[in-house]
């Protein structure tokens, strides 16, 4: 628990979380529910940047091979994130949340190009921005892209939404005696190979710049709001 209220946060969703009951792709019901959870956050005058993954469509690391170059596979992965971001933007707008989709891959026909000043302008106008394409370069996941973007936009924290309610000392799916760790340092996460909740590259970048990360379960009512208000039930990496 902290007693901090954040005023600018980066919220990271994986593509998988947007699939809901489907095997892949986007379940609009999930995005609609997320919009209803995010509305009260905005009422607290919190500026919100969302980075969305693309694993519900493709992950470069898995797709590469059999003739598909890693770089091409990563391009396909980034396009997956764009599909998620476009759908989410429309659904948020339909729910009355002013939202802009900014893309870090060139896709000017379908989204605005990510430009640092433009992103800040949208945020100052209380618009949610949903960033597609990670940071637009291969060999990176959206976890690392999320930390990079949070630093670029002066966010106070990265909120990583996961299916787990925090950091565990080992995989809670495999080990029934896995213990939740409420507060842990970046360094401890980096040095413990049993902790795989987030890419080590992302943790390392956050550590170098003293950026806290909160791992929490977003799909539970009020968890996003409580986390933003500093009362998370998740784990804080700092
Ligand atoms: N990706 C990339 N550069 C980036 C962000 C993402 O190349 O800056 C590619 C990478 O192949 C990645 C895929 O896009 O696997 C989808 O993102 P990610 O795996 O992070 O999605 P998530 O697991 O969060 O759904």
Is any atom of ligand 1 closer than 6 Å to the C-beta of 60? yes
**Angstrom distance (rounded) from CA 63 to CA 77:** 9
Q: Determine the Cα–Cα distance for residues 170 and 85; give it in Å rounded to an integer.
A: 31
Find the domain containing 80 and state its range. 8-237
- Does pLDDT of 11 surpass 80? yes
Q: Which of 22, 30, 81, 198 to mutate to test the pocket of ligand 1 (most atoms within 8 A of CB)?
A: 81
CA angle 22–169–154, rounded 5-degree value: 70
Q: Provide mean pLDDT across the span 6-35.
A: 96
Cβ atoms of 146 and 2 closer than 8 Å: no
pLDDT in tens, 65-105: 999 999 999 999 999 999 999 999 999 999 999 999 999 99
Average pLDDT over residues 185-214: 97
Residue 48 domain flag = yes
CATH of the domain at 78: 3.40.1160.10
Q: Which of 79, 103, 142, 218 has most ligand 1 atoms within 8 Å of its beta carbon, as the pocket-test mutant?
A: 142
- Predicted confidence (pLDDT) at residue 23 exceeds the cutoff of 50: yes
Does the pLDDT at position 196 exceed 50? yes
The answer, as to whether pTM is greater than 0.95, is: yes
Residue to mutate, 59, 106, 200, ligand 1, most ligand atoms under 8 Å from C-beta: 59
Residue 2 domain flag: no
Half-sphere exposure in the Cβ direction for 77 (13 Å, CA): 28
With a 6 A CB cut-off, is 99 part of the ligand 1 pocket? Answer: no
Residue 4 pLDDT grade (very low, low, confident, very high; cuts 50, 70, 90): low
Total number of domains in the chain: 1
Report yes or no on 222 lying in a domain.
yes
């Amino acid at each position: 628990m902290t007693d901090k209220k954040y005023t600018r946060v980066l919220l990271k969703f994986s593509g998988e979380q947007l699939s809901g009951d489907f095997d892949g792709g986007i379940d609009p019901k999930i995005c609609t529910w997320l919009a209803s959870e995010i509305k009260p956050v905005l009422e607290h005058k919190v500026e919100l940047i969302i980075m969305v993954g693309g694993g519900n469509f493709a992950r470069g690391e898995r797709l590469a091979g059999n003739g598909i170059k890693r770089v091409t596979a990563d391009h396909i992965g980034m396009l997956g994130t764009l599909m998620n971001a476009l759908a989410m933007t429309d659904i948020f707008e339909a729910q009355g949340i002013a939202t802009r989709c900014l893309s870090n891959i060139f896709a000017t026909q379908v989204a605005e190009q990510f430009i640092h000043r433009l992103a800040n302008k949208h945020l100052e106008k209380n618009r949610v921005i949903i960033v597609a394409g990670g940071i637009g370069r291969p060999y990176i996941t959206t976890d690392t892209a999320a930390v990079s973007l949070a630093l670029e936009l002066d966010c106070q924290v990265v909120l990583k939404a996961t299916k787990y309610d925090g950091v565990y000392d080992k995989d809670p799916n495999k080990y029934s005696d896995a213990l939740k760790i409420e507060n842990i340092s970046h360094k401890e996460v980096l040095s413990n190979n049993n902790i795989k909740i987030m890419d080590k590259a992302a943790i390392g970048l956050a550590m170098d710049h003293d950026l806290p990360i909160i791992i929490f379960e977003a799909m539970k009512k009020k968890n996003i709001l409580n986390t933003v208000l500093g009362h998370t039930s998740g784990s804080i990496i700092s």
